[in-house]
Each structure stands twice: as structure tokens, then as C-alpha cells.
């Protein structure tokens, strides 16, 4: 039987994940602003996946986007904790059938990458936390 979470557990999991990623992106924005270029390139690949209606490819590239942020945080403990939460969140979140939401996610990712490029850790952190919250709770 596959692992399933109820809505409250998913929100809790993603809230912790958002805090971990926010910490990582703050570090990355200060130490490695060039990460922003990598994030923009990954984001472009996500746009292509959406245009080609390749939801599975979008999900894989989205994982790459978020993993790049965590790796740039240069904290192995954070990365391990995030990995455990990311698997749970990815298992529970179903993005199929939400192409509008996926397009909005692209815009949110672009804003996060730009904040990293501009070495603005506070803005990058706020944007990332908002992005994850909207992904879980909806963008309506």
C-alpha cells in the first residue's frame, strides 16, 4: 500500500520543508548568487515541459529546482532532513490537471531565482516560503 498523508499532515510536512528550503536559499543568496543562473535555466526547462504537456517531466525538473537550492545551502544535516520531507511531500502532492498552477509556479520560481541572483536572502526566503504554501494550499 503506497504511503498516504491526510491534508493536515501534508501541510505540516510542507511547512517544515519550506523552513528548511528558506534557510538554504538565504545561505545560497549570500554565498552563491550564481545559483540564480542555474535556477533560471532549470526554470526554462520546466516551461518547456509545460508547453509540451509533459507533467511527469515538469515534476522531475521541479524536484531538480528545489534540490539545487538545498544543495547550495551547503548543510548536509539540512539536506538529509529535507530529503526525507521532500519524498513525503512529493508522494502526497498531485500536480496533474493543474496547468494554470504550473504556469504560476514558473513565475514564482523565476522570482526566487532573481532574488538569489540579486543576493537578496530575505526576499528569496519569503518568495520560496510563499511558493511552497501556494503549492500546498492552492493559488486561488
Domain ranges for the chain? 7-135
CB neighbours of residue 4 within 10 Å: 9
* Rounded Cα gap, residues 38 and 136, in angstroms: 25
Residues near 74 by beta carbon (within 8 Å), at least 6 away in sequence: 27, 31
Q: What was the pLDDT predicted at 64?
A: 94
Please check whether residue 58 is in contact with residue 95, taking contact to mean a CB–CB distance below 8 angstroms: yes
CATH 1.10.10.10 fits 7-135, yes or no: no
Determine the number of helices (DSSP H) and then strands (DSSP E) in the chain.
6, 0
Per-residue pLDDT band at 9 (split at 50, 70, 90): confident
How far from the centroid of its chain's Cα atoms is residue 52's Cα? 21
List pLDDT tens digits, range 54-96. 988 988 999 999 999 999 999 999 999 999 887 666 655 544 3
The mean pLDDT of 2-22, rounded to a whole number, is 80
- Best CA proximity match to 19, nearest among 128, 104, 110, 120: 128
User: What pLDDT is attached to residue 97?
Assistant: 43
pTM, two decimal places:
0.85
Amino acid at each position: 500500500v503506497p504511503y498516504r498523508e491526510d491534508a493536515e499532515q501534508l501541510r505540516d510536512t510542507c511547512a517544515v520543508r519550506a523552513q528548511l528550503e528558506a534557510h538554504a536559499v538565504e545561505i545560497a543568496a549570500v554565498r552563491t548568487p550564481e545559483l540564480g543562473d542555474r535556477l533560471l535555466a532549470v526554470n526554462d526547462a520546466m516551461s518547456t515541459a509545460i508547453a509540451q504537456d509533459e507533467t511527469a517531466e515538469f515534476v522531475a525538473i521541479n524536484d531538480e529546482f528545489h534540490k539545487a537550492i538545498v544543495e547550495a545551502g551547503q548543510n548536509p544535516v539540512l539536506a538529509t532532513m529535507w530529503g526525507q520531507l521532500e519524498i513525503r511531500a512529493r508522494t502526497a502532492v498531485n500536480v496533474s490537471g493543474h496547468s494554470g498552477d504550473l504556469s504560476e509556479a514558473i513565475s514564482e520560481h523565476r522570482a526566487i531565482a532573481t532574488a538569489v541572483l540579486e543576493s537578496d536572502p530575505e526576499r528569496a526566503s519569503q518568495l520560496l516560503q510563499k511558493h511552497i504554501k501556494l503549492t500546498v494550499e492552492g493559488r486561488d
